[in-house]
Structure 1
């Protein structure tokens, strides 16, 4: 059996007005990351965030800051980050949300999964606590159903959870080939398009925590606006799925025969 291909990962945190939580997110990533560099892409945040990020960069030599002068969306921030990371020689990017919802304690498990399966998309599968907002927990089941339908149930454990490890070359390729996936539609569309590309999918369980305003929690999710964006995205992906259906069926048949 051939040894897995070595990987060179980094931690990538897109952020937009995350509030004080960004400090803990970055410091936790540095502590749990086992020496992995942390890159933050500031997507046009307010002056208070700019100042916070400047302090973090000054305090930690392992932190690199990239910046958009105006807000372009999460997907656009990730694309800026992975393009620069590829030029710097990195092969994989572990993405974390800036608001502290993703557990830094799980970084090691994600990186280990990527080392064992360097060709795979490593997806976080959220484990919700009892106090998680019911609307958020139940609502994501709809997006998960459509994402799995659009990939012939390739194994997307959760289409919306943003803690993942992407093979950078593959992510850049699908993003540069797509007009969309620059805003809130980034996470589910990236998972679907990378599955279409033929990447194996590996799911890693990770507890998720929602912070309220008293805990400095910040959410930019808007139910009407972002759900409309998701509906339009799944309509586009469904059309793409139907065009690709013969090829996906052929790939599934081939993979089934190879496992026999």
Structure 2
């Protein structure tokens, strides 16, 4: 007797997992996501660790799983853009993005999807709840990016700008990404939420645990402290200029919202 729950299915909302050299842990991530939701799409971003073939083998026996393989590594933002572009052509309107390395809580997929279904014009952002194993440098360092993101949106309510477990409305995200060529690498996440706020897409924040896996547990990190913080600094410099240009509109929007 199989007591496993039936995953919830949707013709409008899908789970999208960008994946680059995550190691074997991606198979468990996908299994957990599939236990919660149908469909799940994985975008393999030029991985060279053999996981593309393993995922394709999984998909061959699972109609609810689709694997898109990019021929070379283009960056997380580029992988998400490829996924949502194909999803839009297939009629989907929203995508929940999650990392492939096991850090994000697959069990909360239905909760986030239901929040999106109740307010389809909003984006649903995970607000990370860190365990004791989380590196202090990473936990405290993100406060800088969060501070800038909230300033750049005039405090529209971004709980966390970096946590990639979130539901995006596809149409406005596609329009923004197609207009901004820089949104292709790991710094895609904070730029996406800031620009979506500028476009009038309000955030909903939901607490969600985040796991930092050790190397012994199969954890894989592609974060490069100097390179990636340089990318974030350059991104916020661009966004700060955009914030200044949009300031009158943002002030008007906040005043209108407070007057309702």
How far residue 186 of structure 1 moved from its aligned partner, in angstroms, is 0.3
Are 2:11 and 2:91, in contact at CA under 8 Å, matched by a contact in 1? no
Moved over 6 A (4+): none
Matched, 1:154 2:156: yes
Are 2:19 and 2:47, in contact at CA under 8 Å, matched by a contact in 1? yes
Are 2:13 and 2:95, in contact at CA under 8 Å, matched by a contact in 1? yes
| Count of matched residue pairs | 251
**TM-score, normalising length from structure 2?**
0.94
Mapped to 2, the partners of 1:9 and 1:183 lie a distance apart of 24
Mapped to 1, the partners of 2:56 and 2:94 lie a distance apart of 25
Structure 2 unmatched runs, 5+: 1-9
Mapped to 1, the partners of 2:55 and 2:126 lie a distance apart of 26
Mapped to 2, the partners of 1:215 and 1:74 lie a distance apart of 23
Please show how residues 1-260 of structure 1 align to structure 2 within 5 Å. Answer: 8-33=12-37, 36-257=38-259, 259=260
Are 2:157 and 2:203, in contact at CA under 8 Å, matched by a contact in 1? yes
Mapped to 1, the partners of 2:56 and 2:80 lie a distance apart of 20
Are 2:43 and 2:83, in contact at CA under 8 Å, matched by a contact in 1? yes
RMSD: 1.1
- The secondary structure found in structure 1 opposite 2:50 is helix
Mapped to 2, the partners of 1:12 and 1:51 lie a distance apart of 18
Instruction: Encode CA deviations 1:28-62: one digit per residue, 9 max, x unaligned.
Output: 000022xx200010110015112211222123221
Mapped to 2, the partners of 1:186 and 1:24 lie a distance apart of 25
- The secondary structure found in structure 2 opposite 1:24 is helix
Structure 1 unmatched runs, 5+: 1-5
Are 1:7 and 1:92, in contact at CA under 8 Å, matched by a contact in 2? no
Mapped to 1, the partners of 2:49 and 2:251 lie a distance apart of 51
**TM-score, normalising length from structure 1?**
0.94
How far residue 65 of structure 1 moved from its aligned partner, in angstroms, is 1.1
